[in-house]
């Protein structure tokens, strides 16, 4: 009788392993940052929201669900658990303050829903081209403030490839 039960148990474990559905969860370790304006607690909340936002964007999760968990982030915990959301768990690993900014590193467990748009499905094209700056205003509008330091000019010979 005992051998039959052991055989049935082994068979059921084997079937469970064969027919189980794969889980597509991702653990991501992200560092969020926020400027310390009012208080450190406000900066901590903003840095935690930034870390979760970055993880959601990277994993392809629905960013609209971030508003569902925002009210729970105001409590100063080391670990947050959520159910019924794409973000399942947030573990705060370390916090740091440097130069008026608050940095928070968190390990975030995300299960993106199938209905959300996954950015990994799309190829990202890249275009390299020569351009000339006719005036300094064009550089400032493009976010290049110190042309010598921000933009390294290296000629690329496309015909040698």
Q: Residue 116 maps to which CATH number?
A: 3.30.1660.40
Structure tokens at 131: 């351009």
User: What DSSP string runs through 99-156?
Assistant: TTEEEEEEEEEE---TTSPPGGGS-----------SSHHHHHHTT--SHHHH------
Is 108 a domain residue?
yes
- Say how many domains are in the chain: 1
Assigned domain for 6 exists:
no
Residue 141 lies in a domain: no
Residue 84 in any domain: the answer is: yes
Is 43 domain-assigned?
A: yes
- Please tell me the predicted confidence (pLDDT) of residue 79: 94
Measure CA of the first residue to CA of the last residue in the chain; give whole Å.
Answer: 73
What global pTM score does this model have?
0.57
pLDDT of residue 153: 47
Question: 32 in a domain, yes or no?
Answer: yes
Q: Is residue 112 part of a domain?
A: yes
- What span, in angstroms and rounded, lies between the C-alpha atoms of 144 and 136? 9
pLDDT tens, per residue, the chain with 161 residues: 666 655 555 555 554 554 444 455 568 899 999 999 989 999 999 999 999 999 988 888 888 888 889 999 988 999 999 988 889 999 999 999 999 999 999 999 988 876 545 555 555 566 666 667 677 666 666 666 565 554 554 555 445 55
56 HSE (CA, 13 A, CB side): 22
Q: What is the predicted pLDDT for the residue at 157?
A: 47
Residue 11 domain-assigned (yes or no): no
User: Quick one: pLDDT at residue 124?
Assistant: 58
**Domain that residue 50 falls in:** 26-121
């Amino acid at each position: 009788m005992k051998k039959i039960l052991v055989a049935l148990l082994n068979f059921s474990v084997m079937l469970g392993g064969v027919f189980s559905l794969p889980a597509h969860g991702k653990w991501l370790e992200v560092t969020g940052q926020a400027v310390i304006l009012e208080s450190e607690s406000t900066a901590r909340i903003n840095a935690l929201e930034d870390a979760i936002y970055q993880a959601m964007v990277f994993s392809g999760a629905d960013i609209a669900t971030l508003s569902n968990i925002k009210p729970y982030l105001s409590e100063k915990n080391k670990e947050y658990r959520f159910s019924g959301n794409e973000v399942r768990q947030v573990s705060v690993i370390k916090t740091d303050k440097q130069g008026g900014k608050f940095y928070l590193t968190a390990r975030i467990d995300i299960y993106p829903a199938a209905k959300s748009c996954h950015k990994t499905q799309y190829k990202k094209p890249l275009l390299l081209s020569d351009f000339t700056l006719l005036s300094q205003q064009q550089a400032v509008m493009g976010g290049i403030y110190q042309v010598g330091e921000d933009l390294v000019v290296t000629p690329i010979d496309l015909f040698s490839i």
